[in-house]
């Protein structure tokens, strides 16, 4: 079974009521984790009242802190692929922990080009 690092868009889809995202989370509940990057990006979208509930939900996931090794790899990936820093950090966390990055961001993370990426579903409005 694959272990996944969730990109923020998957959780944002879940919070926005996208059934595909919720189904993916339920089907993989024992093999998903997040990074501190994902946590910060997701929490940005909540008002102070709703943020407490979102934090409680995010606390259910194993959360990966950033390391020096992640920063070094992210710098290299950013130069090579011209990714934004959060995307490069997400990729580094996934690669360094041998996780599959679950995302819908196929623009930056094209699965045929990046073996560590999976697009678990297509958004109904994409």
Say what the pLDDT of residue 122 is: 84
CA distances from 53 to 28, 34, 43, 47, 113 (A): 21, 17, 10, 10, 37
Q: Model confidence over 35-69: pLDDT tens digits?
A: 999 999 999 999 999 999 999 999 999 999 999 99
Q: What is the pTM (predicted TM-score) of this model?
A: 0.94
Specify whether the CB–CB gap between 70 and 89 falls below 8 A.
yes
Element (H, E) at 52: helix 48-58
- Looking at 3.40.50.1010, 2.70.50.60, 3.30.460.10, 3.60.15.10, the CATH number of the domain 4-118 comes to 3.40.50.1010
- Give the CB-side neighbour count of residue 34, counting CA atoms within 13 A: 22
CA distances from 83 to 36, 52, 55 (A): 18, 31, 27
Specify whether the CB–CB gap between 6 and 26 falls below 8 A.
no
**Residue 121 pLDDT more than 70?**
yes
């Amino acid at each position: 079974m694959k272990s996944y690092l969730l990109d923020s868009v998957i959780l944002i889809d879940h919070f926005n009521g996208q059934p595909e995202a919720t189904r993916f989370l339920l089907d993989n509940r024992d093999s998903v984790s997040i990074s501190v990057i994902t946590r910060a990006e997701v929490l940005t979208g909540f008002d102070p009242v709703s943020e407490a509930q979102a934090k409680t939900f995010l606390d259910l996931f194993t959360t990966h802190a950033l390391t020096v090794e992640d920063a070094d790899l992210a710098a290299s990936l950013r130069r090579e692929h011209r990714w934004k820093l959060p995307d490069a950090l997400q990729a580094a966390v996934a690669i360094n922990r041998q996780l599959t990055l679950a995302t819908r961001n196929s623009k930056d993370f094209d699965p045929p080009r990046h073996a560590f990426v999976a697009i678990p579903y297509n958004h109904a409005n994409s």
